[in-house]
Amino acid sequence: MLIYNNTFLNHLIFFDCHDKYGKKIKFLSLEKNTFKGCFFVKNCAIKNINLWKNKFENRCYFVDSEFGYERDGDNKAKLNFSNACFEDNAYFNNSKFYSYADFHECEFEKIACFYGVTFDKAPNFSQIILKDNFNALNITLNFTFDDLEKQIKQEHEYFNKNKNEQYQKSLDKFANDFRDSFRVFKNALIKDNNLLEASNFHKYELYCKEIELKENWNNRETKTTARKSSLHLKYFIDSLLLGFYRKLSDHHTDFLKVFNNIVLLVALYSVFLFMGGYEDNLKSYQYSDNSLDNNSSLINAFKDIKNSIIESSFVQEYSLCILIFFCVIGLLMICWDILKNIKKIYEVIKNEICIKEIIFCVLNLVAYFLGLLIVLIYLNIYIPKSQDSLVVLSNIGIFFAFIIFYLWLVYLKSLALRLMFVVVSYIIVIIVLGISISILNPFIGKIFNDEQNFTNPIFVYITFAYTILLILILFSFQKTARKNSIVPS
């Protein structure tokens, strides 16, 4: 259906035009029209819709409907609501937008309600005018950071495809438009004091900013002018910092992710210490020989309870049977859980384990270490002869090797490889914490044990790198915990 430059005096209604009724609408194009009656779309499936520059003088309803194609990887379907003017209330409640929805430069003079809407692709709400309340509650965003980046690049290519160079739009401008869209939703939720949902839009807003900064850094013209004012370095550092916190905790929104990254850091630090033969440093952190601890009545009580349980005749006689019993029960529970979800587990393994991706990740790590080695060889030229070059290069090398390895773990694209490292890290951390709780921060351990001396320089450099990373992660950890807490911060 294609209608333009008309005036509709009566209501226009689309009802039950859905696949299940055999009445789906493949194409609906209404441009530059004026609707004096209500515009009503309910329980419909519209594959392509174009409402560019329409004027809706009465209420509009686009409710309980589906727009676009469910599998539209190439953005072929067009859902164009741009430049429309809604003079009365507009409702999009519980609708699903499978394809890219373009609402840029729309004008909502009264209520704009998007309650319960689902976006499978990032919408464009840049430069919209909101004169009244904007309801953005319970919106579902079914896309990832990678999907968003891909979409921004697709829209950039599509827009510039048949345009002269003077009319083309740069990629950073597109990223800024999408950032403006997420800012609109974020501000509406903050206005309603819904900070938790607002953080989900804020993380995508920050990712758009990250893409924008990267493009400014890569832009030759920007570099030429930026070198004079050092702005290019600022763009680079800011984009790196945004990328780090995105990978670390989805910009302080994913508590489990940041907690896993803390576990990875502690485990990596422990592995470096044991591989370097510094386990004696760990053992010396144990300050349980403190007379205050040993004379504690609470500890003595625990010791008495432990001895009474272990020394009982029943436990001594059937200890092996008890151990086997609990092992069998645990094994049966694990097997039952696996068998119960065998189909889901198989699908996850089949979809996520990609040998090429794993090999690519490992080769990346090798390339980073080779780059570090080249830098160290180059630095060797400038080390004074009065200094032991091997010691200096070892200190620098171990410091940056630790940081590189950890950042590689954080930035891992292979979900299967990351899952393996996380599981192994939990096992390592549990064992190490049993040896010494002060492994969490050896400098704090030194406060409790003044006799400990950091004599090995390599150990000091590893610990220093670990402490720097730990401070950055703990900042994100506490911020994420506060954002996800029911207690207002």
Q: What is the pLDDT of residues 155-164, one digit of tens each?
A: 888 888 877 7
- The number of beta carbons lying within 10 Å of the beta carbon of residue 385 is 6
Residue whose C-alpha is closest to residue 238's, from 271, 268, 215: 215
Specify the pTM.
Answer: 0.77
- Put the strands of the sheet holding 2-4 in their side by side order: 2-4, 28-31, 49-50, 79-80, 101-102
For 21, the token pair is 């009724």
- The number of beta carbons lying within 10 Å of the beta carbon of residue 141 is 20
Give the C-alpha separation, 223 to 226, whole Å.
5
Residue whose C-alpha is closest to residue 151's, from 163, 141, 164, 140: 141
pLDDT value at position 366?
93
Helices (H) and strands (E) in the chain, counts: 16, 22
Taking phi first (over 0 means left), then psi (-120 to 50 degrees means alpha), and beta for anything else, what does residue 119 get?
Answer: beta
* pLDDT over threshold 90, residue 134: yes
Average pLDDT taken over every residue of the chain = 81
* pLDDT over threshold 90, residue 201: yes
Measured CA to CA in angstroms, residue 367 lies from 373, 417, 467 at distances of 10, 18, 25
Q: Which residue has the tokens 């292979």?
A: 414
Stretch 219-248: mean pLDDT: 75
Q: Which residue has the tokens 């850094």?
A: 217
Stretch 415-439: mean pLDDT: 84
Stretch 113-138: mean pLDDT: 93
pLDDT value at position 298?
46
* pLDDT over threshold 90, residue 90: yes
Give the helix ranges, DSSP H, for 250-340: 255-275, 279-284, 291-294, 297-310, 313-340
Q: What percent of the chain has pLDDT over 90?
A: 40
Name residues whose C-beta falls within 8 Å of residue 101's C-beta, 6 or more positions apart in sequence: 67, 68, 79, 81, 119, 121, 123, 124
pLDDT digits (tens, 9 = 90+) for 358-386: 888 889 999 999 999 999 988 888 888 77
Evaluate whether 94 touches 64 at the Cβ level (below 8 Å). yes
Report the length, in residues, of the chain.
Answer: 489
Stretch 332-338: mean pLDDT: 72
pLDDT digits (tens, 9 = 90+) for 91-117: 999 999 999 999 999 999 999 999 999
Residue whose C-alpha is closest to residue 436's, from 448, 449, 445: 445
